[in-house]
Structure 1
Amino acid sequence: MKTLLKISSTFLLMLIIVNANAQQTAKQIKQQQKAASIKHKIDEQKYTFIAQYAQPLRGGQRYLTSDYDLRVKKDSVIAWLPYFGQVYMDVPYNPTDDGIKFTSTKFDYKITEKKKGGWTITILLHDVRRTQNLLLDVYTNGSATLHVTSNSRDAITFLGYIKDDNDK
């Protein structure tokens, strides 16, 4: 009877270990597929960064309630982002020109792979007056951080994610 109890408990323990191992493998496969999808979008220069939070240089983090994004395509970069922070007078200054809103067709695009996974994308804009460059850190799970540097404003950082093709 004791032998039967030992055999059944050993069998049950092995079954639990095998099941947990299979679940872990499925999770790893899903993570690898997500990373491959993100990498493909970055390489093809066809993706959208959705901003969820803004972090101005001076002040705390702000949750964004509207849809703000940065769309990257092979031939253009389109930004529709808010701005919170110090603006330095840039003559002529148009007070209705708020936020970080532009369409650029002249830009340099460079991808650098990170050692611990993910990518750093540097976009240097040549035809946008107030914004000089964009630095986008993308992680394998799809989360991303966008740093916007300007010559007439304080820098600002946005936290968000790379939009999935299945998102609406």
Structure 2
Amino acid sequence: MNKKIIVYAGIILMLWACGSSKSQPTEAQLQTLNELIDSRQFTIESDWAHPQATRAMQQIVNSGLMLPGNTAGNISLVGNTNFLRVKGDSVFSYLPYFGERQMQIDYGGRDNAIEFKGLMEDLTIEKTKNNGYKFVFNAKSGRENFRVYLSITPGLKSDMLLNSGSRFPIGYSGDVVKTE
């Protein structure tokens, strides 16, 4: 009976130690993030695109058209031009799109990416409980309207989700850098 108590206590101690190993942001990280948000001068460079994993996306993966390491729900963007730039109340972007369209595209099929160039409409910025920030806004790309959900952590990592009435949702994750 004594051995069982010691074993259980050891397991509980290990689980507690592993669970409390989350690193807290430093004061320098928090100050850098707050300055970045206050200035609204930053660029997000994504490393991964996260399209909705549909049957059609899985068929593309199964066909061998995608590079190794990519899946129907995670596509590496390393080496591909992509950005979302915030300058004051304006947003500019070039984000490659992977997924299904729900409408016809322009003749010639040149509308492959999500390109914003204009004001962020209905912008809300909230501080999150993990000391990060959450941006929610509307933006236009050509004839399409997008609802953008952007979260930035104190470690200057970002997660984005873009919703449109014309395309399946897609997410992006990457790094935030200050823009001059």
Give your verdict on TM over 0.5.
yes
AA at the equivalent of 1:48: T
Q: Which moved more, 1:108-117 or 1:145-154?
A: 108-117
Q: Of the candidates 33, 36, 42, which is equivalent to residue 41 of structure 1?
A: 36
Secondary structure of the structure 1 residue equivalent to 2:111: coil
Q: Of the candidates 123, 127, 131, which is equivalent to residue 113 of structure 1?
A: 127
**Alignment correspondent of 1:147:** 161
Q: Deviations over 1:116-137 (max 9, x none)?
A: 2211111222675323211111
Secondary structure of the structure 2 residue equivalent to 1:153: coil
Are the aligned partners of 1:51 and 1:161 in contact in 2 as well (CA < 8 Å)?
A: yes
Is the aligned partner of 1:79 residue 2:74?
A: no
Are the aligned partners of 2:135 and 2:149 in contact in 1 as well (CA < 8 Å)?
A: yes
* Residues 126/74 of structure 1: CA separation in 2 closer, same or farther (3 Å cut): same
Are the aligned partners of 1:50 and 1:162 in contact in 2 as well (CA < 8 Å)?
A: yes
**Alignment correspondent of 2:58:** none
Distance 1:134 1:80 in 2: 14
Secondary structure of the structure 2 residue equivalent to 1:66: coil
**Alignment correspondent of 1:99:** 113
* Residues 36/129 of structure 1: CA separation in 2 closer, same or farther (3 Å cut): farther
Q: Deviations over 1:7-40 (max 9, x none)?
A: xxxxxxxxxxxxxxxxxxxx97x83212211222
Q: Deviations over 1:94-146 (max 9, x none)?
A: 41111111202352321111112211111222675323211111101111101
AA at the equivalent of 1:63: S
AA at the equivalent of 1:38: L
Distance 1:68 1:123 in 2: 19
- Percent identity over the alignment? 25
**Alignment correspondent of 1:3:** none
Secondary structure of the structure 1 residue equivalent to 2:125: strand
Secondary structure of the structure 1 residue equivalent to 2:123: strand
Q: Point out the structure with max Rg over C-alpha.
A: 1
AA at the equivalent of 1:31: T
AA at the equivalent of 2:73: G
User: Any gaps of 5 or more consecutive residues in structure 2?
Assistant: 1-22, 54-71
User: Any gaps of 5 or more consecutive residues in structure 1?
Assistant: 1-26
- The equivalences for 1:33-72 within 5 A come to 33-58=28-53, 59-64=72-77, 65-72=79-86
Distance 1:98 1:165 in 2: 26
Q: Which moved more, 1:145-154 or 1:58-67?
A: 58-67
Figure out how many residues of one structure are paired with residues of the other and give that number.
138
